[in-house]
Amino acid sequence: MHLVRPPGVYRAADDTSLLADVMRRGGYARGRRVLDLGCGTGALALAAARAGAASVTAVDLSLRSIAATWLNARAHRAPVVVRRGDLFEPVRGQAFDLVLANPPYVPAPTPALPRHRIARCWDAGVDGRQVLDRICAGAVRALTRDGTVLIVQSEVCDESATVARMREAGLRAQVIERSIVPFGPVMRARAALLEGRELLEPGRREEELVVVEARRA
């Protein structure tokens, strides 16, 4: 599927494909109200629409990402509602059956999150969890009674912490999919940093991507 991707917008990669595949195979989107958090090009939003979602809302803080998702939805005739804002803020008071998230999760040199550079698409603080933890804490308020969250992340930012944070928020959570992929450009550039923090075995140049599912307890 061809997607418009302006400069500064995240290119859909292995993590996006893994999450979309889990969603399709599990029938998570069919007939459901879907929220795509941090939509980028809109790849997940469009995948949900194609998988039979009753409605799809896409949210991103980046104006370029919002524009890209809007254009791609129109080009593929997908009925996606696009909202600009910080995570759940643009949909406050609404409830969704499925929340999809492929957030920034790469550990960065500093805790400061970039706002106006392409690195904002992957930098997530020193431990890679600045955005993940906010999603874990806020997702329960955006779910219907039988709603589900699907998050994709790397092993380097600790999937057990995601499961624990979801459980602390009152959700039942577990890892439901794993996939080992070669490093992309960002992870290759951060390899020495990750090794120095003992988040990566010396010389290793592949990572395990995981999909975490969370439901209301």
Q: How far apart are the first and last CA of the chain?
A: 36
pLDDT in tens, 155-174: 999 999 999 999 999 999 99
β-bridge mates for residue 1, sequence order? none
Report percent pLDDT > 90 for the chain. 79
Place of tokens 């930012």: 157
Does a structural domain hold residue 102?
A: yes
In a domain, 6, yes or no: no
CATH number, domain of 44, equals 3.40.50.150
User: Which region among 87-96, 116-125, 192-201 has the lowest average model confidence (pLDDT)?
Assistant: 116-125
Q: What is the mean pLDDT of residues 19-28?
A: 98
What's the pLDDT score for residue 87? 96
Say if 8 falls within a structural domain: no
- pLDDT at residue 163, rounded to an integer: 97
pLDDT category at 149 given cuts 50, 70, 90 is: very high
Sign of CA dihedral 45, 20, 12, 215: positive
Are 83 and 91 in contact, with CB atoms under 8 Å apart? yes
The whole-number average pLDDT for the span 94-123 is 87
Q: What is the pLDDT of residue 24?
A: 97
> Of 48, 13, 42, which is closest to residue 30 (Cα–Cα)?
48
Amino acid code (one letter) for 150: L
Q: Is residue 4 part of a domain?
A: no
Instruction: Find the mean pLDDT for residues 147-161.
Output: 96
pTM value is 0.94
Q: Is residue 7 part of a domain?
A: no
Asked if residue 176 is part of any domain, the answer here is yes
Is 58 part of a structural domain of the chain?
yes
Could you tell me if 45 and 69 are in contact, meaning their C-beta atoms sit under 8 angstroms apart?
A: yes
Given a cut of 70, whether residue 189 has pLDDT beyond it is yes
State the pLDDT at residue 37. 97
Give the other-Cβ count within 10 Å of 31's Cβ.
Answer: 10
Task: Indicate if the pLDDT at residue 103 is higher than 90.
Answer: yes
Alpha carbons 20 and 12: distance in angstroms, whole number: 11
Tell me the residue range of the domain where 104 lies.
14-216
Question: In total, how many domains does the chain have?
Answer: 1
Would residue 174 count as lying in a domain? yes
